[in-house]
Amino acid sequence: MGGLRDGLDGMWWRFWVANVLHAGVNHLAGNMLPWLVIGTMIERIAGHERMALLTIAGAAGCSVGALMVDPDVVGIGASGVVFAAFGFAAMLDPDARRPIGKFGWSLVVLGIGLSTFTPGISSGGHVGGVLAGFASGIVLVYLVRAVWPMPAPTSAMTGTNAHTNHVDRTAPLAANRELPIAARLNHLAARRDAGQLSVDEFDRLQHALVTRG
């Protein structure tokens, strides 16, 4: 009931609701545990709105991929949306220089490999989800950043809080790499306001500082 299959006979909602239906507790837990990990990382970096759009795009990509590859098989499950998160994480750091990128690319390769050789799994839905994640990352992170910049860094992103003076020595993106992350972000903003950095340069450096892990 409610699963995705070819020939929906006007029941268009199956295209969407199939992504939130599961065959049992084990199926649900198997999808929600990786979603909890990778989804939390993405939402802290990209913000709530981008996360919501990623979820919608991932559901659509999963359903399209499943219908293209296995149109006669009834499909349910959120794994395609989870795979979209894998792809989006990879696009947050395409060169895999930071943990979010390395984690994302590793999950993409491992997930697609397992989907290809494991029976009873919708490989089409997983590939469709990954492709939707790639596309969402390209659009939401890079193409629209001039009109919709990434969210301002928070303590959840930077690993700092108001009660500590955490010092991060891993990325020399400011004059004094011994400064706390928040101070270095302020330094970048000051350089931008003084005309020493373009908006694109500022966005790139801020993004690198926030997403390196």
For residue range 53-103, list pLDDT tens digits in order.
999 999 999 999 999 998 888 999 999 999 999 999 999 999 998 889 999
Q: How confident is the model at residue 184 (pLDDT cuts 50, 70, 90)?
A: confident
- List the one residue out of 15, 117, 97 whose CA is nearest residue 64: 15
Confidence of residue 31 (pLDDT cuts 50, 70, 90): very high
**For residue 6, what pLDDT is reported?**
84
* Predicted pLDDT at 34: 94
Residue 52 tokens read as: 């919501």
**pTM recorded for the entire structure:** 0.72
Task: Report the pLDDT value the prediction gives residue 153, as an integer from 0 to 100.
Answer: 57
| pLDDT score of 199 | 84
pLDDT, tens only, 102-137: 999 999 999 999 888 888 888 999 999 999 999 999
State the pLDDT at residue 85.
Answer: 97
**Residue 54 has what pLDDT?**
97
Of residues 146 and 44, more confidently modeled:
44
Contact 47, 150 (CB under 8 A): yes
What is residue 162's predicted lDDT score, i.e. its pLDDT? 41
Q: What percent of the chain clears pLDDT 70, i.e. is strictly above it?
A: 85
- Give the pLDDT score at 167: 43
Which band of pLDDT confidence, cut at 50, 70 and 90, is reported for residue 154?
Answer: low
Pair of tokens at residue 34:
């990786």
Q: How many CB atoms lie within 10 A of CB 197?
A: 18
Beta carbons of 158 and 181 less than 8 angstroms apart: yes
Q: What is the pLDDT of residue 84?
A: 98
Alpha carbon distance 167, 160 (integer Å): 9
pLDDT, average across residues 190-211:
82
Share of the chain above pLDDT 90, in %: 49
Domains of the chain, CATH where assigned: 14-143 (1.20.1540.10), 155-211 (no CATH)
Contact present, 136 and 58 (Cβ < 8 Å): yes
- Contacts by residues 147-155 (CB-CB < 8 Å, ≥ 24 positions apart): 149/203, 150/45, 150/46, 150/47, 150/203, 150/206, 150/207, 150/210, 151/46, 151/47, 153/181, 153/182, 153/185, 153/206, 153/209, 153/210, 154/44
98-156-101 Cα angle (round to 5)? 20
Continuous H helices in the chain: 14-17, 25-46, 48-69, 79-92, 99-117, 123-137, 155-158, 181-193, 199-211
